[in-house]
């Protein structure tokens, strides 16, 4: 492991807005489950970004909409270092990050505790054998349904046409409600937060003249 990565892992331990729970911490009952408004010390709604990487989108949302609380989730500690450090430097008190697998979210958030979910340029898992790992696979949507408030939105933004088409198929086949879709964000009237917040990778995709796709949908009631 490189020296820089080790330094970042060490600095991660000093950030008060980055949680790195062990498996035992989660299984025994995560300390903030059902109590996130107490952590943020306000009664604002709670928004998640899944697979947040360096936290660019989480931070962008928090700056555009400061009347909400934001949590970015990723398994890569070296990536989360950047978002945690930047949000601390910007004194964004309504931002936090969690290093964990997305499969664990039902143990970290209580039923109906989340008001909105963003999935921004996730790994498309292009091989058919990896479909179950796509963050819009029905197995993941089932997990989200336990923590997301009824009738609230999930957003997907991706450059990957296969993932875009796959997600639309999942929505149709499982009876979810499609709210908005476009296969070209920058030739559409999609929401400002989808157009105006760009990650490092999105800038690269646009330089390569790739179209950016976007879907907003609501889960079928369970």
Per-residue pLDDT of the chain in tens (222 residues, 90 and over written 9): 677 888 888 888 888 999 999 999 998 889 999 999 999 999 999 999 999 999 999 999 999 999 999 999 999 988 999 999 999 999 999 999 999 999 999 999 999 999 999 999 999 998 888 899 999 999 999 999 999 999 999 999 999 999 999 999 999 999 999 999 999 999 999 998 899 999 988 999 999 999 999 999 999 987
Radius of gyration of the chain (CA): 17
Q: Which residues of 192-218 are buried (b: 16+ CB within 10 A; e: fewer)?
A: eebeebbbeebeebeeeeeebbbbbbb
| CB-CB contact of 75 with 101 (8 Å) | yes
pLDDT tens digits, one per residue of 39-72 = 999 999 999 999 999 999 999 999 999 999 999 9
> Domain containing 58 — which CATH number?
3.40.50.150
Q: For the chain, how many structural domains are there in total?
A: 1
Question: Is the pTM higher than 0.75?
Answer: yes
Q: Which domain holds residue 103?
A: 3-218
User: Which residues, in sequence order, are CB contacts of 105 under 8 Å at separation 6+?
Assistant: 48, 50, 73, 143, 144, 147
Strand positions, DSSP E, the chain: 18-19, 46-50, 69-74, 95-99, 116-120, 153-158, 177-182, 213-218
User: Which residues, in sequence order, are CB contacts of 67 under 8 Å at separation 6+?
Assistant: 44
What element of type H or E holds 172?
helix 161-173
User: Which residues, in sequence order, are CB contacts of 24 under 8 Å at separation 6+?
Assistant: none
Q: Which of 92, 120, 105 is nearest to 32 (CA)?
A: 105
Residues labelled as active-site residues:
123
């Amino acid at each position: 492991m490189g020296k820089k990565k080790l330094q970042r892992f060490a600095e991660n331990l000093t950030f008060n807005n980055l949680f790195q729970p062990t498996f035992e911490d989660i299984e025994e009952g995560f300390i903030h489950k059902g109590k996130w408004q107490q952590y943020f010390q306000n009664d604002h709604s709670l928004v998640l970004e899944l697979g947040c990487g360096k936290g660019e989108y989480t931070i962008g949302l928090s700056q555009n909409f400061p009347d909400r609380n934001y949590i970015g989730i990723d398994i890569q500690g070296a990536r989360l270092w950047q978002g945690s450090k930047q949000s601390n430097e910007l004194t964004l008190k309504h931002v936090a990050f969690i290093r964990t697998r997305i499969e664990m979210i039902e143990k970290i958030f209580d039923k109906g505790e989340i008001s909105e979910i963003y999935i921004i340029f996730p790994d498309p898992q292009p091989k058919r054998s990896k479909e179950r790992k796509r963050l819009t696979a029905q197995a993941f949507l089932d997990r989200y349904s336990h923590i997301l408030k009824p009738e609230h939105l999930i957003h997907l933004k991706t450059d990957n046409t296969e993932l875009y088409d796959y997600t639309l198929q999942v929505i149709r086949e499982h009876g979810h409600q499609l709210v908005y879709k476009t296969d070209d964000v920058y030739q559409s009237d999609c929401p400002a937060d989808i157009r105006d917040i760009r990650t490092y990778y999105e800038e690269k995709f646009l330089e390569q003249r790739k179209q950016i796709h976007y879907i907003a949908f609501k889960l079928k009631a369970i």
